[in-house]
Each structure stands twice: as structure tokens, then as C-alpha cells.
Amino acid sequence: MGKLLSNFRTTTLLSIALAVIMILAFGKVSGGFGDAFWQATLRWVHVVAGVLWIGLLWYFNFVQIRVMPNIPAEMKPAIGKHIAPEALFWFRWSALATVLAGLGVMFMRGHAYAMEVLSFGFAGGMTEDQKGFTLMGIGVWLAIIMFLNVWGIIWPNQKRALGIVPAEDDVKAKSARIAMLGSRTNMLLSLPMLTSMAMYQTLFG
Ligand code: HEM
């Protein structure tokens, strides 16, 4: 067991295998492998990818960005050359997986539902019972803005800041600041965004 747990890849694959057994059990016990099962499975993918994405966003903001100024200069490359690039790899690809699975769940709930959410309830005329869509729409659009921020601002600036693409020292410093502010913006938006994700289903079904 110690040998298995020492290896990241085998541990992760085993975790996925156990989750797949649970997913199949849910399909069987709930009475079938129809549309509802596949929507639930996509929700699983969505939440798993979302946890990885937002978990890493919070790691950057709770830990790395705050501690970095206190790290002695000769030790900074350990973060800049090894930890940050690896964290950014999982960060940006899990962001993409979260959005694709989230949009998938939305459209699996039906075209009308997707239009209602994306239009904040205006597609259905914004009657009293559409207000839930307004709240869910805010969360989905915040998440889309956060995703565009990851790929359009944070990652291109981090590439220059970390020396993954060559840049002059002053450009590097400016890019590091822009990447930090981009990351802080996503930190700011993360809790309001998650409020929609976490509360909609229970209160509006
Ligand atoms: C563009 C990005 C996103 C889209 C389009 C999206 C879309 C959705 C949709 C349609 C639902 C189902 C709501 C319902 O029950 O009707 C959902 C639920 C959820 N989403 Fe997202 N989402 C996005 C980003 C995120 C992110 C970044 C997270 C971070 C963890 C997240 C976490 C969740 C959670 C925890 C649920 C609740 C699942 C449940 O109650 O079954 N989502 N999302």
C-alpha cells in the first residue's frame, strides 16, 4: 500500500477507478443509464475539474503570492521554475475542463434552460419565477469571465513573468504584476460565482 501511495499516477488512477465504480453504482441503483445518468456524470466531471481549478486559484492567492516576497532570492527559482509552471498547467487545463463540462451540463438540462441562464431570465420574459435564472446567470457569466481571465490575461503574463517565453526584465516585472492582479480578480469573483453554483440546485431545482 505504501508503494502505491508513493506514486502519484497510480494513486490518482485508483481514485478515478473507485469513483467510476461509484458512478456505475449510482446508475444501477437509480434505475438506469439514460439522460439523467449522463447529466449527473457530467456534473461530476464539472465539479471535479472546478475543485481542481479553484483549489489551485486559492493556493496561488492563499499561499504562493503572499509568501513569495518572504522567500530568499536564491530560493525563488524553486517556485518560479518548478512549482508555479506545474501548478499553472493543471490550473489552466482544469479551467477549460470546468467550463466545457459546465456548458455541457447546462445544455443537457435543455436548450430553454441554457437560454434562460445565459440571458439572466430575460429569454422567458423575466416573470417572477425567472429570478432563479438571474442568480444562476450571474454565476455562470462570472465563471466565464474568470475563464477568459485565466487564458487571456493570467497565463500569457505568467509565461513572460516566469521566463517560459523570453522578455526584458522590466517587461517581466510588469507581467508579474498584471498576472497577480488577474489572479486576485479571480479570487474576488470566486466566492460570488460559487454561490450560484452551490445554491441554485437546492432552491430552484
Ligand atoms: C463557465 C463556467 C461554468 C458553467 C457554464 C457552469 C455551469 C453550471 C451548471 C449549468 C450547473 C448546474 C446548475 C443546476 O443545477 O441547474 C452547475 C453546477 C455546479 N457548478 Fe458550475 N459552471 C461553471 C463554473 C463552475 C466553477 C468554476 C465551479 C467551481 C467549483 C463550479 C462548480 C459547480 C458546482 C459545485 C455545482 C453544483 C452541482 C450540483 O449541485 O449538482 N462551476 N454549473
For the chain, list residues with pLDDT below 50: none
- Residues near ligand 1 (Cβ within 6 A): 43, 46-47, 50-51, 53-54, 98-99, 102-103, 105-106, 109, 140, 143-144, 147, 194, 197-198, 200-201
d(C-alpha 82, C-alpha 94), whole Å:
19
Nearest-Å Rg of the Cα atoms of the chain is 20
Dist. CA 102 → ligand 1 center (Å) = 5
d(C-alpha 84, C-alpha 51), whole Å:
18
97 and 18, same domain (yes or no): no
* Residue (of 91, 82, 9, 11) closest to 51 by Cα position: 91
Q: What is the pTM of this model?
A: 0.95
24 and 100, same domain (yes or no): no
Domain containing 26: what range?
A: 1-32
23 and 111, same domain (yes or no): no
18 and 118, same domain (yes or no): no
Amino acid residing at 179: A
User: For 14-30, how does the pLDDT look when each residue is reduced to its tens digit (9 = 90+)?
Assistant: 999 999 999 999 999 99
> What pLDDT is attached to residue 205?
86
Dist. CA 47 → ligand 1 center (Å) = 7
126 and 161, same domain (yes or no): yes
> What pLDDT is attached to residue 163?
95
82 and 4, same domain (yes or no): no
41-49 contacts: CB < 8 A, separation 24 or more?
42/101, 42/104, 42/105, 42/108, 43/101, 43/105, 44/19, 45/97, 45/101, 46/98, 46/101, 46/102, 46/104, 46/105, 49/94, 49/97, 49/98, 49/101
> What pLDDT is attached to residue 73?
95
> What pLDDT is attached to residue 126?
86
